[in-house]
Amino acid sequence: MEKIILTAEGKKELENRLNVLKNELIPQVVQRIKVAREQGDLSENAEYTSARDEQAKLEGEKQDIENKLKFGEVIASGDKKDYVEVGTKLRYLDMEENEEYEYTIVGTAEADLAKGKISNESPLGKVLMGKKAGDVCTVIAPKGGSYQVKIIEILG
């Protein structure tokens, strides 16, 4: 299996989600299935079908998280570094848009743009790895073209 990189925070979030799945969500859906079975004919029971579908989805998520935790490697987050690595929070300037952005570099398993977390394997993440404040980097976009970013500050 491919190496999965996690931050300590990301591992904790996965453990919390797994706990919710095992102790709350999956038991609730199992109870819904039980109640739906008691209603009789399962072939036309929409509640039963819906609950089984939800159970399959939750069990898949549970298995995915268990694999990430089993095969994940937590990166050590020691003192603040002066270069970008997994776990680094930074502020950079998109020189084309003249806009500043703040992101944390994380492993692919934790990436969530809405939460300000970009993957170390993304085009931007790859280019930023190992760079220092003040460095200008050229990012090659997946659909072609490129743009430049300047690291303004490494926050932690």
pLDDT by residue (tens digit) across 77-102?
655 678 899 889 999 999 999 999 99
What pLDDT, on a 0 to 100 scale, did the predictor assign at position 79? 59
- The residue whose two tokens read 């987050």 is 77
* Tokens matching residue 30: 């199992």
Task: Identify the pLDDT of residue 5.
Answer: 87
* 105-122 tens-digit pLDDT: 998 888 999 999 999 999
* Residue 46 tokens, joined: 């929409």
Report pLDDT for 143: 86
* CA 127 to chain centroid: 19
The answer to whether the beta carbons of residues 133 and 152 sit under 8 Å apart is yes
Q: What is the structure's pLDDT at 77?
A: 63
State whether residue 65 is helix, strand or coil: helix
Please, which residues bridge with residue 51 across strands? none
Residue written as token pair 């394997």: 121
Closest CA to 136 of 85, 96, 106: 96
The single residue listed with the structure tokens 């990012």 is 139
pLDDT exceeds cutoff 60 at 28: yes
- Residues 136, 141, 142, 144, CA torsion sign: negative
* Chain-centroid distance, C-alpha 72: 13
pLDDT tens for 31-84 read: 998 988 887 766 677 888 889 999 999 999 999 999 999 988 888 765 567 889
Domains of the chain (ranges plus CATH)? 4-74 (1.10.287.180), 89-154 (3.10.50.30)
pLDDT above 90 (res 18):
yes
Confidence band of 131 (pLDDT split at 50, 70, 90): very high
**Which has more confidence, 22 or 156?**
22
